[in-house]
Amino acid sequence: MTARAAARSLPRYRGRARSRLRYRRATPPVGTRPRQTRRLLALAAVYDGMSREAAAAVGGMDRQTLRDWVHRFNAEGPDGLTDRPRSGMPRRLSEAQMQELAGIVETGPNPVVDGVVRWRRIDLQRVIEERFGVVYSERAITDLLKALAFSYISGRPKHPGQDARVLEAFKNVWPVPGLQAWRDALKRSASMYPA
């Protein structure tokens, strides 16, 4: 019997569904966690008396895997049927190198040495390869920065030849001449026409 045929042959839950499948209310709507849903359907098939082989086919697994999921369901309930986070590959940079990279990002680039005024992923990729001898993709650089608690927000870059005195002279200086007279006239007109 195929998994699809086994799924069609599942009996519909009517009166006793509340007692057996009460745990479904605590789970998110069907479709948000499809793997958990398949595992719940396989368990429901076992509870309805279907053979373990056929119930495993409903869930798209073998009997031993179904047994493992039954043990997790009995120990942890419906939340035990979700996938657990995996550790993944270890980082290729050591903790000391990660801290050094954080310092590099924090201090920013030197325009003379690095040739850029702000860090981009491709620039950090080059720096990591030069300093540590480790090759990362641009996407992996994003993960490294996220692990170091850096965000995409960056400060506005400053031009190396920027002069602070010229900037101060260019800024608008308050109060503007005549502003006080304008405010006084506004107050007088407001007093003439009360709201």
Q: Compute the distance between CA of residue 44 and CA of residue 14 in angstroms, rounded to an integer.
A: 13
Residue 192 has pLDDT above 50, yes or no: yes
164 against 20, higher pLDDT: 164
Q: Compute the distance between CA of residue 195 and CA of residue 189 in angstroms, rounded to an integer.
A: 11
Q: Compute the distance between CA of residue 108 and CA of residue 118 in angstroms, rounded to an integer.
A: 6
What 3-state DSSP class applies to 11? coil
Residue 18: pLDDT band with limits 50, 70, 90: very low
**Residue 146: what are its φ and ψ, rounded to 5°?**
-65, -40
Share of the chain above pLDDT 90, in %: 45
pTM recorded for the entire structure: 0.44
Residue 26 has pLDDT above 70, yes or no: no
Model pLDDT for residues 163-179, shown as the tens digit of each residue: 888 887 777 666 666 77
Model pLDDT for residues 122-153, shown as the tens digit of each residue: 999 999 999 999 999 999 999 999 999 988 77
Residue 96 has pLDDT above 90, yes or no: yes
For the record, the structure tokens of 181 come out as 């007279």
End-to-end C-alpha distance for the chain, whole angstroms: 83
Is the CB of residue 141 less than 8 Å from the CB of residue 125? yes
Q: Compute the distance between CA of residue 102 and CA of residue 104 in angstroms, rounded to an integer.
A: 5
5-9, 78-82, 115-119: the lowest-pLDDT one: 5-9
How far is residue 28 from each of residues 45, 100, 159, measured CA to CA in Å?
20, 42, 52
Q: Compute the distance between CA of residue 35 and CA of residue 187 in angstroms, rounded to an integer.
A: 69
Q: Compute the distance between CA of residue 157 and CA of residue 160 in angstroms, rounded to an integer.
A: 9
26-35, 110-119, 169-178: the lowest-pLDDT one: 26-35
